[in-house]
Amino acid sequence: MITRLSNFFLKTLREDPSDAEVASHKLLVRAGYIRRQAPGVFAWLPLGLRVKAKLEQIIREEMLAAGAHEVHFPAMLPREPYEATGRWEEYGDALFRLQDRHGADYLLAPTHEEAFTLMVKDIVSSYKDLPLTIFQIQDKYRDEARPRAGLLRGREFTMKDAYSFDASDEGLAQSYQKQRDAYERIFQRLGLEYVIVSADAGAMGGSRSEEFLLPTQIGEDTFVRSAGGYAANVEAYQSPVPAARSAEEIVGLPAPLVFDSPDTPTIDTLVAHTNAVLPREDGRAWEAADTLKCLVFAVTTVEGERSLAVVGVPGDRDADMKRVEVAFPGCEVEPATAEDFAAHPELVKGYIGPALVGPSGEITQVLGEAGTTGIRFLLDPRIVDGTAWVTGANAHEKHVAHLVVGRDFSADGVVDVATVRDGDPAPDGSGPVTLARGMEIGHVFQLGRKYAEALGLKVLDENGKLVTVTMGSYGIGVTRIMAILAELHHDDRGLVWPEAVAPFDVHLVATGKDQAVYEIAASLAATLDDVGAEVLYDDRPKVSPGVKFGDAELLGVPRVVVVGRDAADGFAEVWDRAAGTKEKVAIAEVPGLFGA
């Protein structure tokens, strides 16, 4: 079937939509692929629907090839299963909730773990029915606070979500690997470069988890990788823990020494001041890494309880708020506010430290459950027993040096939230890491038994014993991938689709007012259609060549064929949008460029 632009539901725009911030959003609206319905909610025009359908089909084919079965769940689901797993509450404001006419609670599902678990519970009863992987391609909802990136992160979005079910951990590992392999094939077919990084489990709960990240400077995720093969989302990076000093070694360390430290608002000024007033015996200069920085956070639980937590990190690092979020699962964390400090006058801002050193050297712990304040106190994993630090002395304009962990103070626990830097060691010993930015394009996840336990999904094993099923979940954002492809493949004139998902194979443009040209073009369109090419034919009689060319470049069909002045001589011009080349080709040879 040939699509004629003279009769196509399309309007291209010259101006970027005012609410669009990213290139994919601007171009998909301007080129007539999508239209905004509400913040983060889009309608699909015929062009957009064609690209989306091709993308879905590629994903579907690879899922089926990996042995997964396609199903389809409603977007609107009852509350109870999500209540049973705790997600009804955990999702917070991101969940769209509603009631029916009888007052029963429903949600618009952001993911479908619960529903899939219950369906498998309904249908499967024996280990012989496993392994099983089922998937759907379906519209999901998430009430993003500020949905500003078009399809990159909408409030309604299409996802392929798959779930695997196994009777054993080994089975889960295999099912996981199959999906992981399928993801590699999908991204290869789409021409998407990817790095597979270890990822934190985050709000989903569970164990092993990897993200497929597209390396790109404009990515919203940061990841680290080593030359030796380590790769992890920065949230999942685990700092190697140095060896602690033994109790015997600690005995020989210098005693704490309190010193005046006026005008030291920053770590740099503190370090300079300490070097000036307290030169070290061995001549080495004090460095930022010798100081212990005590950061105060306010942590609010799902139930709304707000409390303070002090996190000690080496002074040459800060807290990475993304890593902080992961370290306090289910809580909202922010730096303590002026009000928080006002409510806790025992925290001397700018001079906070774990302990107070009295005039005759007696030490009183201030922070932590063991301290006078009782405020939760957590330490970076590098701050091990026997390490000595310059830190706040809990008095205005006073710091203390030689304060030793495990001798002078202790912490309530360890928290790995400090910033990660180029050169930090990979935790697997594969060398130093470098930082890079990426965009998440897929996520594979060993959920384990969390959902099966909450919803009672058990099967009989070989011995006739009931065992809880272990699950995996595997997601690709279809509409998000479409936006990412648009981000990657465009230039200043418009979109440049990869062939695998292009709305048409060829954009045929007839120019001028000569009826004979249109007849030649129509005949070429028919021949192209015959050889199986999907043809968009710009047959608009009263539109100038400039407008037609502009539309062709904006729409982004990979190859444009222009039939114009040279048509009478039997020639057309063939453009390769990606390469930027234009070539004179005999019209008779054009179908050969597209046919099977």
Residues in touch with its own copies (CB under 8 A): 1, 7-11, 32, 35, 37-38, 41-46, 49, 64, 67, 69-78, 93-94, 96-98, 100-101, 104, 106, 108, 115, 119, 122-124, 132, 134, 139, 141, 143, 145, 155-156
Q: At what angle do helices 23-30 and 478-488 cross, to 10 degrees?
A: 100
Smallest separation (angstroms) from its own copies to the CB of 74: 5
Question: Taking a C-beta distance cutoff of 8 angstroms, is the pair 489, 496 a contact?
Answer: yes
Smallest separation (angstroms) from its own copies to the CB of 157: 10
Q: Which long-range contacts (CB under 8 A, 24 or more apart) does 300-303 make?
A: 300/331, 300/332, 300/333, 301/330, 301/331, 302/89, 302/90, 302/92, 302/330, 302/331
- Token code pair at residue 178: 């199959």
- Token code pair at residue 215: 């390396």
The SS3 call for residue 570 is coil
Smallest separation (angstroms) from its own copies to the CB of 119: 6
User: Is 119 or 173 the residue whose CB approaches its own copies more closely?
Assistant: 119
Q: Which long-range contacts (CB under 8 A, 24 or more apart) does 34-37 make?
A: 34/150, 34/151
User: Is 43 or 277 the residue whose CB approaches its own copies more closely?
Assistant: 43
User: Is 44 or 328 the residue whose CB approaches its own copies more closely?
Assistant: 44
Q: How far is CA 409 from CA 380, 402, 403, in A?
A: 14, 12, 8
* The one-letter amino acid at 123: I
Specify the residue for token string 């299409």.
Answer: 158
Among the residues of 434-585, which ranges form H helices? 450-455, 478-488, 515-530, 545-555
How deeply is 268 buried, as exposed, middle or buried, from its count of CB atoms within 10 A (0-12, 13-18, 19+)? Answer: exposed
The SS3 call for residue 411 is coil
- Token code pair at residue 49: 């629907």
User: Is 155 or 323 the residue whose CB approaches its own copies more closely?
Assistant: 155
Tell me: cis bond preceding 131? Omega within 30 of 0 counts: yes
The full DSSP string for 375-400 is -EEEE-TTS-TT-EEEEEEEETTEEE
- Quick one: which of 120, 206, 119, 211 has its CA closest to 448? 206
* The one-letter amino acid at 404: V
Smallest separation (angstroms) from its own copies to the CB of 47: 10
Specify the residue for token string 């001397």.
Answer: 348
Smallest separation (angstroms) from its own copies to the CB of 114: 10
User: Is 60 or 437 the residue whose CB approaches its own copies more closely?
Assistant: 60
User: Is 138 or 233 the residue whose CB approaches its own copies more closely?
Assistant: 138
Smallest separation (angstroms) from its own copies to the CB of 46: 5
Smallest separation (angstroms) from its own copies to the CB of 518: 18
Smallest separation (angstroms) from its own copies to the CB of 19: 14
Q: How far is CA 427 from CA 230, 249, 325, in A?
A: 8, 26, 21
User: Is 390 or 457 the residue whose CB approaches its own copies more closely?
Assistant: 457
Smallest separation (angstroms) from its own copies to the CB of 324: 22
DSSP 8-class letter at 34: E
User: Is 428 or 461 the residue whose CB approaches its own copies more closely?
Assistant: 461
Smallest separation (angstroms) from its own copies to the CB of 474: 16
User: Is 49 or 272 the residue whose CB approaches its own copies more closely?
Assistant: 49
Cα 508 from Cα 468, distance rounded (Å): 58
User: Is 115 or 506 the residue whose CB approaches its own copies more closely?
Assistant: 115
Q: How far apart are the first and last CA of the chain?
A: 17
- Token code pair at residue 237: 């990076």
Smallest separation (angstroms) from its own copies to the CB of 295: 29
User: Is 53 or 255 the residue whose CB approaches its own copies more closely?
Assistant: 53
